[in-house]
Amino acid sequence: MKREIPLFLTAVIGAIVLAGFFVPHPYVSVPADYLQRCAVIVVAFGYALGGANLVQVNLEGILRRHPDWPYKLVLLAGMGVTLVFGLFVDRAKFQDPGTVSLWIYDHVYVPMNSTMFALLALFIASAAFRAFRVRSAEAALLAVSALVVMIGRVPLGDAVMAGVFDHPGLPEWMRHLRLEPLQQWIMDWPQNAAKRAILIGAAMGVMATGLRVILGIERSYLGGSD
Amino acid sequence: MTISTDFGVWIAALLTLCVFSFLYKDNPLYKFAEHLFVGVSAGYYIALNYWTVVDQYLVIPLRAAFDGSQAGGPFQAQMQDYRGWLIVPAVLGVLLFTRLFTRLSWMSRWSLAVVMGVFAGLKTTGFAQGDLVAQVQASLVPLWIPGDLWGSLNAILFTVGLVTSLLFFFYSREHKGVLGGVSRVGVWFLMISFGAGYGYTVMSRISLLIGRFQFLLVDWLHVR
């Protein structure tokens, strides 16, 4: 029964929400809307569960004096201070101008978040340089389109090629071969065609997975065997 | 040159430098910033979800439902006004925490079942309407545009790219013969798309990198 009841719940709830899309009658749309509200609230509790799990794992590491335990302490302190100011000190005015919660967001969270993602620029580029080799026509297509998009999206790259293709002795149509319009053409047409195919395929995949979950075929979310 | 005297700018600049120190190698300054980032992020999202979801959609409505101020009693539900019935998601939310206790963790499946059922129902229709139909509709472009040869060629190229890329994902038959040839063309389009996606991602990260250097040089060191 530990697995059957959740499977039954998923099937019934999924069917009601699915029916809510097609049947606008209040007998269906009100329960469907109520269930959506329930899911949003449960997901919000999920964030708190994640926090509790973080505390559990890191506290254990600190108490057992794992090699990196001082960093775990930093993690818990960061989380604790943010929570205390976010939930209690700045009560009901979370992230309002002048609050500590907004100060933490602006001066701690945002700088580290954007620097972490900025670091990825260097690591993506160096990983590609080390691992990527042009050994086939397909690999060449990938490399050329990546280079055109990268160089064409910066003013300097476009300006360098403009000196070549804007020469008065060349025909008008050759101006389209400048990197900026060329990268835009790649983004608008060949890239867009393949991206649409991926999106259409992904949409069909999501629909199929949704139906598998509702019909109880997909059960991996229930976890363990008991 | 005068350096910023704002305490917040100094903290942001030092944390930025701590993260950048990873470019040399993994070191205690980076580890400090990394762990602080995880902790602050967790705290921020928990607080954000409490105030934007739990407080707004659960605590305030539940309090209003049981303080006797609403006509019709605490369990008279209607669209967007679920009053006392919100006890159910509150209990389901609390049940999620049974995951922390091995012997009781099976009870969290009830909460997960509600979330999975709702999102399965929502996404099935949502993706059909928002992605599948919208993308197919936007892809049905006229192949011949009178007086616009370049536009017509682009439309034909787009349609060929879309159809061949879709056929590449058709795995019910072995990619041999005509299907093999067509799906090979699809692979070319997919490679161009992946390359462009890679270039686009690198450039967006580079713009973040420029933003961080601008912050360090202009906001912190006041170099103009």
pLDDT tens track for A28-49: 999 999 999 999 999 999 999 9
Residue B184 located in a structural domain: yes
Residue B120 located in a structural domain: no
Is residue A17 packed enough to be buried (19+ CB in 10 Å), middle (13-18) or exposed (0-12)?
A: buried
Answer whether A108's CB lies under 8 Å from B15's CB: yes
Low-confidence ranges of chain B (pLDDT < 50): none
Q: How many CB pairs under 8 A join A and B?
A: 417
Tell me: pLDDT of A225 over 70: no
Residue B125 located in a structural domain: no
Tell me which residue range forms the domain holding B216: 141-224
Residues of B with Cβ-Cβ distance to A72 under 8 angstroms: 35
Residue B147 located in a structural domain: yes
Residue B126, CA atoms < 13 Å, CB-side half-sphere: 10
pLDDT of residue A226: 62
The tens digit of pLDDT for each residue in A70-96 reads 999 999 999 999 999 999 988 879 999
Tell me: pLDDT of A101 over 90: yes
SS (H, E, C) B85-121: HHHHHHHHHHHHHHHHCHHHHHHHHHHHHHHHHHHHH
* Nearest-by-CA chain B residue for A195: B193
Residues of B with Cβ-Cβ distance to A61 under 8 angstroms: none
A154 — pLDDT class (breaks 50, 70, 90): confident
Pick from B6, B27, B38, B215 the residue to mutate for testing the A interface (most A CBs within 10 Å). B38
Q: Closest Cα to residue A78, out of B211, B20, B25, B11?
A: B11
Q: Which residue has the tokens 């059960």?
A: A219
- Give the number of domains in chain B: 1
Q: Closest Cα to residue B110, out of A2, A105, A62, A200?
A: A2
Mean pLDDT score of chain A: 92
> How far from A222 is each of A7, A207, B159, B188, CA to CA, in Å?
9, 20, 42, 40
Residue A75, CA atoms < 13 Å, CB-side half-sphere: 22
Contact B100 A146 (CB under 8 A): no
Contact B85 A34 (CB under 8 A): yes
> How far from B115 is each of A11, B75, B191, CA to CA, in Å?
11, 23, 37
The first and second tokens of residue A33, run together, are: 């809307």
The first and second tokens of residue A169, run together, are: 């002795």
Residue B189, CA atoms < 13 Å, CB-side half-sphere: 29
The first and second tokens of residue A122, run together, are: 């260097």
Which one of A5, A52, A211 has the shortest CB-CB distance to B124?
A: A211
Residue B86 located in a structural domain: no
Region class of A95: left (phi > 0), else alpha (psi between -120 and 50), else beta: left
Pick from B30, B145, B192 the residue to mutate for testing the A interface (most A CBs within 10 Å). B192
The first and second tokens of residue B15, run together, are: 């944390």
Of the candidate ranges A106-120, A146-160, B162-176, the one whose mean pLDDT is the lowest: A146-160
pLDDT of residue A106: 97
Task: Provide, rounded to the nearest whole percent, the portion of chain A with pLDDT above 90.
Answer: 73
Contact B118 A214 (CB under 8 A): no
ipTM of the complex: 0.90
**Using CA atoms, how far apart are residues B216 and B12, in angstroms rounded to an integer?**
9
Residue B136 located in a structural domain: no
Residue B210 located in a structural domain: yes
Residue B60 located in a structural domain: no
* Cross-strand pairs, B81: B78
pLDDT of residue B85: 95
